[in-house]
Amino acid sequence: MRHQHLFIIKLPRVACILFILLFILAMIMYAGGTVNNPESIGYSFSKNFFSDLGKFTSENIISAIMFNLSLIICGLSFAAYFFYFTKLFNENTLINILAKVGSFAGVIGSICFIGVGLTPHNLFLDLHIVFVNWAFRFFLVTGIMLSIALYKDKRFENQFANGYLIFAIFTFLYVLVLELAPDPKNSDFALVFNVVSQKIIVFTFISSILYQTAGNSKLLANHSNE
């Protein structure tokens, strides 16, 4: 029970807070440059991707270290989160199988986050894109499977299943953006559309994890009182 409390409540909360803090610091330290304007100065919330913060150049080394470190921390923490989340579903039922499949997909998606942090786009572009694309595809499976499992599992209130459902919907929309959106190099509008879409899904993901830790906290509290 102590390990579960650490890995499905405390650690993901710390990881989310660290990600936000390191993102802000990396944004402040960002040297500059967007896809369409390499000479721009500083970080633009609507024209710079998250990954821009992680590019390794002599001018951007501090920002790159902070941002890539934040992704690695989140990836490790979320992988542990989803692994220990499977421990809540021990019986061999359809609901538990769905939950385990969704959680396993979450582990793989989290490992892809680590991959994103280890492959700066200006050095390993192809690998970077692969990790980004597959991270959200796996998290889409996670959102779908866990929303179904939690709706059926009477231990969880429906509001927490709704959290995964909303996350699944936003992730599905972002996967469509990854597949169908215009190339950000085509115009500033295309760039802003892609960048803002990325910001929305990442902060939706962070909010979803934080929200689910509240449900996990309630569940473990109820177990300890039984």
Residue 221 has pLDDT above 90, yes or no: no
pLDDT in the model for residue 128: 95
Per residue in 122-165, pLDDT (tens digit) is: 999 999 999 999 999 999 999 999 999 999 888 888 888 899 99
Please tell me the predicted confidence (pLDDT) of residue 174: 95
Q: What gap in Å lies between CA 54 and CA 65, rounded to an integer?
A: 7
Q: How far is CA 42 from CA 26, 38, 185, 202, in A?
A: 10, 11, 19, 21
**How many residues are recorded in the chain?**
226
- The answer, yes or no, to whether residue 1 has pLDDT greater than 70, is no
Give the pLDDT score at 224.
55
With a pLDDT cut of 70, the percent of the chain lying above it is 97
Give the model confidence (pLDDT) of 103-115 as tens digits: 999 999 999 999 9
| pTM metric for this prediction | 0.92
Q: What is the pLDDT of residues 154-195, one digit of tens each?
A: 888 888 889 999 999 999 999 999 999 999 999 999 999 999
- Find the largest Cα–Cα distance for the chain: 62
